[in-house]
Amino acid sequence: MNIRLIRHCETDWNKLEKCQGISDIELNETGLKQSQFLKKYFLNKEIDIIFSSDLKRAIKTSEIINENLNCTIVKSKELREMDQGDFEGLTFKFIRSNHKNELDKWRENPRGFRIPNGETLGEAQKRAIDYINQIIINYNKMENIVIVSHNLVISSVLCYYLNKDLVDFGKFTIDSGSISKLKLEKSKINVEEINFTDHLNNHY
């Protein structure tokens, strides 16, 4: 089984470097273009089913990818971005200046530190891994699966399958519209590719 993890395409909050979390922000013009390049990339590839976060930016990315595939799209809140609580809607610059203490604690202990009124990255990782495990069990006859999710969720999933501590999540760059690939063989998942973006390069 091949599982492709796609980060949703760009929103205005991505462009403005705002903390997005579970805020339900639409794709912007660049994000819609990126989605078209993803659709072109998957045009001649066999895809059996698409799973998507239930947030608008992920759903729209999934729907555009699917325009020529005609797959079932299964939407789930388990694939949502980490709930970033009081940080949502704030710019990263503002957070670094005004919430340095909380930010430092989160970076030192992402598994256990809860952003005020949000969730821990450990909780987000667990729900995503549990969901992927259910996909593997329930859709074991399928060979090619796409999952459209979010930056921190994908980073935490990669940490899990690479047997890295969650504190290493920041070492992964997960660009908007990027593809990371997992492969299930003999009951073991291997990470085959991280942050593939060739389909997006030199187009805009």
For the question of residue 150 being annotated catalytic, the response is no
Among the listed residues 8, 10, 78, 88, the single catalytic one is 8
Taking a C-beta distance cutoff of 8 angstroms, is the pair 77, 171 a contact? Answer: no
For the question of residue 81 being annotated catalytic, the response is yes
Helix (H, G, I), strand (E, B) or coil at 132: helix
The two beta strands, 144-149 and 2-7, are parallel
Taking a C-beta distance cutoff of 8 angstroms, is the pair 34, 82 a contact? Answer: no
The two beta strands, 144-149 and 49-53, are parallel
Among the listed residues 10, 81, 88, 119, the single catalytic one is 81
Taking a C-beta distance cutoff of 8 angstroms, is the pair 122, 50 a contact? Answer: no
Taking a C-beta distance cutoff of 8 angstroms, is the pair 50, 71 a contact? Answer: yes
Active site residues: 8, 81
